[in-house]
Amino acid sequence: MSKRRDRVFHVTVSVFALTLAAIAGGTLVSETTHRGLPPGWSPFHLLSQTSNQLPAQSGLAKNQDTGRPVVNSTHQTGSTASQSASQTGSKAGHSVPNDLAAMPVYKPANNASHIIVSAPTGDVPAATVAHVKQLLSTYQMANTVSHTLHMNLNTNVHIYLAKTAADYQRDLNSLFGISLSQAKSFSADTGGFTQNESILIPLYQNTDVPDLANTLAHELTHAFLNDNTSYVPSWINEGLAVGDGMSMQARVENSVRYAGDAGSLAESVIQAAANGSLLPLTPNEQAVLSGNAPYDLELQDWLAVKNLVLHFGPNAFPDYLYRLKKHEAPAQAFQRTFGESTTAYNQAFTTLLKKAAVTPDPGVTLTFNISPSFHGDLRLLQHSSHTWQGFQATPGTDQVTMTPSGQLSGSVHKLQGTYDSTKPDNHTLYINLNPLGNLTQNGQTVQNCGMAIDYHNGIYGYVNSWITWANGKTTYLYTPSLFGVTLTQVSEGSQQNPILSLLNTPGT
């Protein structure tokens, strides 16, 4: 099962909150006025480099909303496996004891031939069914999951497509025997459902290619595990599935957008560790299905599995899963594969998350690709700051670094600071495009436009782009490119947050 993860988050701007609903591949039009800089910069006044008018920096507030979503990451790991192992109590380089028959050499089969895609009703257009088949084929999803798990399918996997919420509820009931009351709950809270080797995909919750690719890979992972094992503890089952889904999403999605998505998903787990609501890793799927946890348990599972992959390499889980297949007790299999008990690992992993929660702000380096078609400046307002810093945009690659206190370096065309008297946003770095002339699109004049970068717990990540039109309406976009200015990388100034190494580990 994959959890439904709407790309919805809240950004406080001045004295009001903007609700930014990410409609993948589309836009959201809002009547709300976004913090923006109209041409001419008339609402603000210039400050000299030595001005003492800047107020003292306020402390960073604890994140109280964890809804900003969730990706090829641009962070660098900056730590070795041995260093990471010392942080979590795991033993890097641990060798698997020779205490059971040798795991057979993995030989990939043509797993794609076992995948059958259909729609229970005629409401799903044939073109949509063909699109899903093409997506599975283009990214070789079945064989990719097979390689991750070192498993092949022994039977057919049926992927059923549901067009609407009503279809999803009906199909959960008719195909899987889920009661109508449970089906209604699941339709509101899940982005996909797998039972045995049958998968149900609600298309209305997977409206863009990255989301759909993620969900397909996620559910296929469950189907592979169901086909090859009789039991896998829930946190490992879901952690592997989320990892495969995120890896597939990273192949499909813009790298800056993916990195922002992945970081925001990790933030929700880090925040749970910070506020004391973090739950132990659970072997019971009912804890996930209940939906009563204060955060998405699957995301915690994902990070916990990623942490083990980082320490022990991609072949550790195939060894563990082989032990389960040979009917070793899960606790014993985990101990023998990873060299410690699940209880000890859970404690070490919790400590890692708590460390991540108190990571100081490392600052951020932003890399832009500037088209010759854009003439003007870029202005940046660091979170918790009153001063916009800027630089003259020149064609080509431009890389600048923003310190935690809001100082800008890296560009030879740095401009004078601009004071903003409104209340600072503690968790958003704003980037504004300031063209020399008016920008227009489809006959509409642009009042202001830019991009938003989220900051929490030492992690920066792209959120969205916006265009505020002359009529006051704002359109939100989810591609980091506007009018010839493309954000190509967001990277922290240091790798102090241990979660960053997890977000950038290849594969599951």
User: Per-residue confidence of the chain (508 residues) as pLDDT tens digits?
Assistant: 665 554 432 222 222 222 222 223 333 333 333 333 322 322 222 232 223 222 222 222 222 222 222 222 222 222 222 223 333 333 333 444 455 667 889 999 999 999 999 999 878 999 999 999 999 999 999 999 999 999 999 999 999 999 999 999 999 999 999 998 888 888 877 889 999 999 999 999 999 999 999 999 999 999 999 999 999 999 999 999 999 999 999 999 999 999 999 999 999 999 999 999 999 998 776 766 666 778 899 999 999 999 999 999 988 999 999 999 999 999 999 999 999 999 999 999 999 999 999 999 999 999 999 999 999 999 999 999 999 999 999 999 999 999 999 999 997 789 999 999 999 999 999 999 999 999 999 999 999 999 999 999 999 999 999 999 999 999 999 999 999 999 999 999 988 899 999 997 666 6
For 330-480, strand residue ranges (E) read 364-370, 376-381, 387-392, 396-402, 408-409, 414-419, 428-435, 440-441, 444-456, 459-469, 474-477
Give the per-residue pLDDT at 100: 66
Give the per-residue pLDDT at 506: 60
Residues facing 230 on adjacent strands: none
Structure tokens at 67: 């809804």
d(Cα 111, Cα 86) in Å, to the nearest integer? 39
Residues facing 481 on adjacent strands: 486
**For the chain, the helix, strand and coil percentages under 3-state DSSP, each to the nearest 5:** 35, 25, 40
Give the per-residue pLDDT at 27: 37
Closest CA to 355 of 499, 242, 238: 499
The model's pTM is: 0.81
Give the per-residue pLDDT at 122: 77
Spatial neighbors of 305 by CB under 8 A, at least 6 apart, are: 235, 236, 239, 240, 242, 243, 317, 508
Give the per-residue pLDDT at 413: 87
Give the per-residue pLDDT at 448: 95
Phi, psi of 305 (to 5 degrees): -70, -45
Give the per-residue pLDDT at 99: 58
Give the per-residue pLDDT at 291: 64
